[in-house]
Amino acid sequence: MDEAVADALCKTLPAQTMGIADLGCSSGPNTLMVVSEMVSKIYDACSQMGISLPELRVSLNDLPGNDFNYIFMSLPEFYCNLEKETGVGLDGCFISGVAGSFYGRLFPRNSLHLVYSSSSLHWLSQVPPGLCTKAGKHLNKGKIYISKTSPPSVVKAYLSQFQKDFFAFLRSRAAEMVAGGRMLLSFMGRSSPDAAAEVGTHQWELLAQALMSMALEGLIQEEKIDSFNAPYYAPSAEEVANIVEEEGSFIINHLQGFEIDWDEGSTSSDNDKDDNVVNGLENLSRGGQVAKTVRAVVETMLESQFGRDMMDELFRRYAELVDRYFSKTRAKHINLVLSVSRNTINSCY
């Protein structure tokens, strides 16, 4: 991050205006905390480089359904703290909200120096087409994401949608970023070349198990599970690298997968205790904590398919399954971190 900031800063000279975007910024106390950290890093880098702070244009992006009002209502306090901490005020950091999909254009040409996205790019622009035959047969029966039992056509459909989306993402950013601009992306991935490997799929596998157990008891129609597939893909580093290379506008500075525990950030370790009290997680089992965190992210899409009144029971069963899984294994995700620079050739998109 520090190196990317310093590098991106150099590209603002001599214009002294820096365009920064957080793509998939979400809405909550963390949204502006990320901005605050970025401004601090830029402030530090400027001090070290002995240059004055450029005017910062910070764009916060998410889909139109995101709660931007919450972010905007927090701005007066944010500016007050920012001024105290860095001396940067209303006339030094211009924050705006941009609602739209990052798989298409969001910003004017050559306007961004630093692009950041965390925990968003594993969400596809849509459920992959082709998971249902023309005759109406569902190919991924009893599952809601790639699974060991999924036929190869399902894996292919998912990969193909990710390739299309990630290519579109890079092509849009290529148009928007200045030559030499830096992009830092982190999202769910996997370490195995096999898309059906346990790490990367198992959270969905357990959710499908919970759904199927409810179908067995007649609480949910099995057909609804067969026809539901998550708009999600956890790529391997190689798949990501291939798309970056094919698209051609960016040079990879760094690409690495990091193992993180499922309940990292939501476990009741001493450090996190205060957070857990705030988030209402303090009296839950580890499985219960994971279920609560996952529920916050996926509930909307599940309730439109399976009904709102099924959600409590679903996530109760899910929590149990996660607890059982924790008792057998160290449940982990792979977080892919990708750092790229906009190259200077092909600057014409």
One residue of 5, 8, 106, 178 binding its own copies per CB under 8 A: 106
Site residues (CB under 8 A) for its own copies, limited to 164-223: 175
Give strand pairing partners of 186.
Answer: 118, 337
152 binds its own copies (CB under 8 A): no
Applying CB under 8 A, does 100 fall inside the site for its own copies? yes
Q: What three-state secondary structure class fits 308?
A: helix
| Long-range contacts formed by 78-83: CB under 8 A, 24+ apart | 78/32, 78/35, 78/36, 81/36, 82/36, 82/39
108 binds its own copies (CB under 8 A): yes
Which H/E stretch holds residue 178? strand 177-189
Report the residue from 14, 50, 64, 136 that binds its own copies according to the rule CB under 8 A: 64
Q: Which stretch binds its own copies (CB under 8 A): 4-12, 100-108, 142-150, 204-212?
A: 100-108
DSSP E strands, the chain: 17-23, 55-62, 93-99, 112-118, 177-189, 250-261, 332-342
Question: Tell me, what DSSP letter sits at residue 254?
Answer: E
The reply on whether position 104 binds its own copies by CB under 8 A is: yes
Residue 224 Cβ, how far from its own copies at the closest point, in Å? 27
Residue 74 neighbours by CB distance under 10 Å:
15
Query: Is residue 94 at the binding interface for its own copies, with CB under 8 A as the rule?
Result: yes
Angle at 167 (CA atoms; ends 35, 301), nearest 5 degrees: 65
- CA dihedral for 275, 277, 281, 284, sign (positive or negative): positive
Tell me how far the alpha carbon of residue 218 is from its chain's centroid.
Answer: 34
Phi, psi of 314 (to 5 degrees): -60, -50
Q: How are beta strands 112-118 and 332-342 bridged, if at all?
A: unpaired
Q: Please tell me whether residue 116 binds its own copies under the rule CB under 8 A.
A: no
Question: Which of 50, 91, 135, 327 is in the footprint of its own copies by CB under 8 A?
Answer: 91
Helix (H) or strand (E) holding 97: strand 93-99
Please, which residue, 43 or 233, has the CB nearer to its own copies?
43
Identify the CA nearest to 123 among candidates 23, 234, 229: 234
Among 41, 105, 224, 332, binds its own copies (CB under 8 A): 105
Q: Which stretch binds its own copies (CB under 8 A): 32-40, 52-60, 254-262, 328-336?
A: 52-60
CB 59 within 8 A of CB 21: yes
- Interface residue with its own copies, options 90, 278, 296, 297 (CB under 8 A): 90
Q: For residue 73, state whether it binds its own copies (rule: CB under 8 A).
A: yes
CB under 8 A: which stretch of 53-61, 140-148, 155-163, 216-224 binds its own copies?
A: 53-61
Does residue 59 touch its own copies according to CB under 8 A? yes
Q: Of 39, 95, 174, 319, which lies in the binding site for its own copies, with binding defined by CB under 8 A?
A: 95
Stretch that binds its own copies, among 88-96, 121-129, 144-152, 314-322 (CB under 8 A): 88-96
Residues in touch with its own copies (CB under 8 A): 17, 55, 57, 59, 64-69, 72-73, 75-76, 90-91, 94-100, 104-109, 175
